[in-house]
A and B are shown apart, each in its own frame.
Chain A
Amino acid sequence: MNTRSDHNDDIANYVLGQMDSANRARFEERLTREPELLRAVTALQTHFQALDDTVSAEPVPVGLWGRIDSALGQQQVLTAANTNTKPGVFGVPRWAGMAASVALALGVGFFSGQSLQTPQQGQAPLVVAVLLSDDMAPGAIIEAFDDDSIRIIPLEALIAPPNSTLEMWTLPDAETGPVSLGTFQEARELILGGPDLPAPQPDQLYEITVEPEGGSPTGRPTGPILLKGFARAPVV
């Protein structure tokens, strides 16, 4: 068990560059899943950057950009090849490093929905929405029922990054604002029981965001949007 002082020693050793490469790699791996630790490290690093800022810029050697540029050429080929083999590529919001693991997640999983209910037997949904990633790939279908429950049918693997959760939202109308329908770690077909809301309407917005563990701290979406779409009423 790490004590608080071990914790601060780790932060200090990391920022001062005193870890060997194995420990540094281990510590950096922790940073990807411990937002509080990352915050503490970044705060200290930001203070220490005042020392880096005392340098005078040196002349940049002719040809250095050219060498970088040609190194990138090789990198791009690798990246393109990798992209084609990714199992579930959502448009990952560019700033969300954490969300990247959602895109890479391979996934046959099991439910762990918080507000899990029994599936609707033979009940027809009032509205259906296809949720799209920001590169317009369909990622999930949702069906909304008149008892405020939602059925999510993922079309791509959908797994929350470590220390975070996925949260389903809807926007009944602009005045009410976004309302949480529930959180889940990993989706295959699952049912979330939402709060008491007006019956879902055509054109109602549904979206799934990545939120901190336990769901959004503010009651509004705070994390990157993984998927979103507008409801349509089925013609039956």
Chain B
Amino acid sequence: MTDTAAPMAVDSLVLAIADGDKSALEELFRLEAGRLIAVARRIVRRPDLAEEVVQDAFVAIWQRAGQYDPKYGQARGWITRIVRNRALNLLRDSGRVDHVDGETLDAMGDRVGEANTAYELMPERHALKGCLAQLDATKRKAILLCYVTGLTHGEVAAKLDAPLGTVKAWIRRGMIALQECLG
């Protein structure tokens, strides 16, 4: 149904974009926009905001492709991070998406499900899955909520009905254990 871009293809497209090749940007859009909209929507929830994120991200990719450095990983990761950062900016800074009002509490319910689904769908062979599996369920859940759905520590605390300080400590210790495990 949807084209999936091979990481190598994305690398060469981003290098072409850095040279000002707009057709390469259009090809990147054709290959990756659907996936990137989905990544953004996990964080910003609303489809219109996810689209806005991806639109801004493609403008940023056009402007900043020259800064992409293959030494630091594949271009596919680089463009995903641009999208995630845009989505997080929108959540954190615009005030347009308020997760603590009553209307969005239900949507937050989905988020636990979504974070778990992402964890379940990760291939077993992936190092991150093995390392997350070694954590206590609460630490794992807190970390997944932060990364997958973009919740803040405070929102995670509200969601898991635990004191903020406790949740911060779970996440901190969980991340130390993960970094050691992934080492």
Residues in chain A within 8 A of chain B (CB atoms): 5, 8-9, 11-12, 15-18, 20-21, 24, 38-39, 42-61, 64-65, 67-69, 71-72, 75, 79, 92, 94-98, 100
Contact: A50 with B122, CB < 8 Å?
yes
Q: Is the CB of B34 within 8 A of A60?
A: yes
Contact B62 A72 (CB under 8 A): yes
Given contacts A17-B150, A48-B147, A55-B35, whether A95 and B122 have CB atoms under 8 Å apart is no
Please name the residue on chain B nearest to A97 by beta carbon: B67
Known A47-B182, A52-B84, A95-B68: A21·B34 in contact at CB below 8 Å:
no
Q: How many A-B residue pairs have CB under 8 A?
A: 149
**B interface residues, Cβ below 8 angstroms from A:** 1-2, 4, 15, 18-19, 22, 25-26, 29, 33-35, 37-39, 41-43, 47, 50-51, 54-55, 58-59, 62-63, 65-74, 76-77, 80-81, 84-85, 88-89, 92-93, 117-119, 121-123, 126-129, 143-144, 146-148, 150, 152-153, 171-172, 175-176, 179, 182
Let me know if B18 and A57 touch, CB within 8 A. no
Nearest-neighbor residue (CB-CB) of B32 within chain A = A57
A184 to chain B, nearest CB (A): 23
Alpha-carbon gap, A18 to B164, bound state (A): 14
Task: Please pick, from B34, B88, B143, the residue contacting A59 in the complex, using a CB distance under 8 A.
Answer: B34
Residue from the list B33, B122, B126 in contact with A64, Cβ < 8 A:
B33
The 10 A-B pairs at the shortest CB distance, nearest first, are namely A57-B34, A97-B67, A55-B38, A12-B175, A54-B121, A57-B2, A94-B18, A16-B146, A42-B72, A57-B35
Contact partner, A54, options B65, B118, B153, Cβ 8 Å: B118
Supposing A50-B122, A64-B54, A72-B22 touch, asked if A17 and B84 sit within 8 A by C-beta, the answer is yes
- 26 A-B contacts (beta carbon < 8 Å): A12-B171, A12-B175, A12-B176, A17-B146, A17-B150, A18-B171, A20-B92, A20-B93, A45-B81, A47-B128, A51-B119, A51-B144, A57-B37, A58-B38, A58-B47, A60-B37, A65-B33, A68-B25, A71-B59, A72-B59, A75-B62, A79-B63, A94-B18, A94-B65, A95-B69, A98-B69
Q: Across the two chains, which residue of chain B brings its CB closest to A94?
A: B18
Query: Measured between C-beta atoms, what is the minimum distance from B182 to chain A in Å?
Result: 5
How far apart are A113's CB and chain B's nearest CB, in angstroms? Answer: 27
Beyond A18-B171, A20-B92, A49-B76, 12 additional contacts (C-beta under 8 Å) are: A17-B43, A17-B147, A50-B123, A51-B119, A51-B147, A53-B122, A59-B34, A64-B54, A65-B29, A92-B66, A94-B19, A98-B69
